[in-house]
Amino acid sequence: MFIAMNQFTVIPERAADFETLWRTRESHLQGLKGFVQFSLLRGDEPGDYLSHTIWESREDFIAWTASDAFRQAHAARTPDGILAGHPRARFYEAVIVESGSRSPA
């Protein structure tokens, strides 16, 4: 399991606009090899957001970044006045995974 996170610092007054941008975009993720789950996460700290994508492997993530689906999903940049700084990407490999009886939803 591989997780790619991108941390966004959003101007708190523009949080609703930021969420709308994500709700209305096409992710182009369905059907991609190794795609497990995408989520947009809102942190308890105002303006703290993570895009959080789970892949079966790092190789699946890398293949996605080289794909047309990636280019299509990233064609539209965030309008000015919403972000307080540059997003910060971080990448993680799972060392231990323990699942409960239910799937994430």
**Which residues make up the interface to its own copies (CB under 8 A)?**
1, 3, 19, 22-23, 27, 29-32, 35-45, 48-50, 52, 54, 56, 90-100, 102-105
At 104, give phi and psi (nearest 5°). Answer: -60, 145
Q: How many CB atoms lie within 10 A of CB 80?
A: 6
Residue 56: CB minimum distance to its own copies, A = 7
Residue 74: CB minimum distance to its own copies, A = 16
Residue 80: CB minimum distance to its own copies, A = 22
